[in-house]
Amino acid sequence: MLKVGLIGAGYWGPNLARVLNQNRKCNFSACCDVNPKNLENITCQYPTVRGFSSTIQMLESDVDAVVIATPIGTHFELVRQALNAGKHVLVEKPLAHNSACADELAALANRKRLTLMTGHTFIYSPPVIKVKELIDSGMLGDLFYISLSRVNLGLFQKDVDVIWDLAVHDVSILLYWLNQVPTQAQSFGRACVQQNKNDVAFLWLQFPSGLIASIEISWLSPQKMRRSIVVGSKRMVVYDDTDPSEKIKIYDRGVVLHQPESFGEFQLTYRVGDMVAPNLSNVEPLVSEVEHFIDCVENHTTPLTDGVFGAAVVRILETAVRSSRNAVPVPDGPELVALGKS
């Protein structure tokens, strides 16, 4: 049975520990954390798990694979050490803090013939999978645009801004849905609360097919929203992850363009049909993600979110952030007169 060790027992680590312990295909045998309290919490809850305060010592043990849930800035070095130690790796998103490091890790895993998987958990959620099925089936027709919103009041992160914390989810979802890498990526953001760290941002992506996508992300919103709208020529889909019962709604709505019968103008009519909410599985995405990782290791297959996929997400985010420094200024014009003032 595959022996798996966990590196990082802080915010997300306990969730991974629970799922690893429940999985019958692996043996959750080791945990490593530099914080003694975090490590004690895991080893007390799971007495058969060996505790390590040193990553090197754990990598020298008999674990076959490691799951890494540490701050983003540590991902590159930890993944590199694990791969060089001959361990398969599942690392939380994003794969690395820049595209050069992400590409290096993907290439290293390939040379070592080891499984490297990035933990883009939403890719393994039933609603996201369902939208992918709808797109691939052609049921939605030609896709026009996709709008995504992921906002909440917090959680403010110490090591990254809102783009690297939240937009990473939506960029990975778009790559999974479309199986395309965007040709353009732009962003604007603002640091409203913390200096030099954006807590609200907007990203725009354009894909080779012509489809455009917008992403709204924020740690500074009065309401929690995780909503995506996919607009096609035949149907439209709303994916609302906060809806407890109907996360996916398929709308038979659109606009029909009629050719003119004479020299008159083109005529538009609006199609307003039924709404259908399909049944979805209740499986926990993190459970599916870990099972997929273990299956890929055992069967020597490529994960959906492998190192190449993870590196593509990092490259897109990096490009979008860079574009904000090259914004085109609006030319000066007449000063606006304040409305309501004499």
* Tens-binned pLDDT, residue by residue, of the chain (342 aa): 999 999 999 999 999 999 999 999 999 999 999 999 999 999 999 999 999 999 999 999 999 999 999 999 999 999 999 999 999 999 999 999 999 999 999 999 999 999 999 999 999 999 999 999 999 999 999 999 999 999 999 899 888 999 999 999 999 999 999 999 999 999 999 999 988 899 999 999 999 999 999 999 999 999 999 999 999 999 999 999 999 999 999 999 988 877 766 655 667 788 888 999 999 999 999 999 999 999 999 999 999 999 999 999 999 999 999 998 887 788 988 888 776 665
Fold of 2-121: Rossmann fold (3.40.50)
Task: Tell me the Ramachandran region of residue 196: left when phi exceeds 0, alpha when psi lies from -120 to 50, beta otherwise.
Answer: left
pLDDT of residue 324: 83
pLDDT of residue 342: 54
- If one counts every other C-beta atom within 10 angstroms of the C-beta of residue 69, the result is 22
- Domain covering 123-285+319-324: architecture: 2-Layer Sandwich (3.30)
pTM of the model: 0.93
Chain centroid to Cα 80, Å, comes to 22
Q: Is residue 207 within 8 Å of residue 180, measured between CB atoms?
A: yes
Distance CA 119, CA 128 (A): 15
The residue assigned the tokens 């603002």 is: 190
pLDDT of residue 262: 63
The domains of the chain are located at 2-121, 123-285+319-324
Distance CA 69, CA 231 (A): 35
pLDDT of residue 263: 59
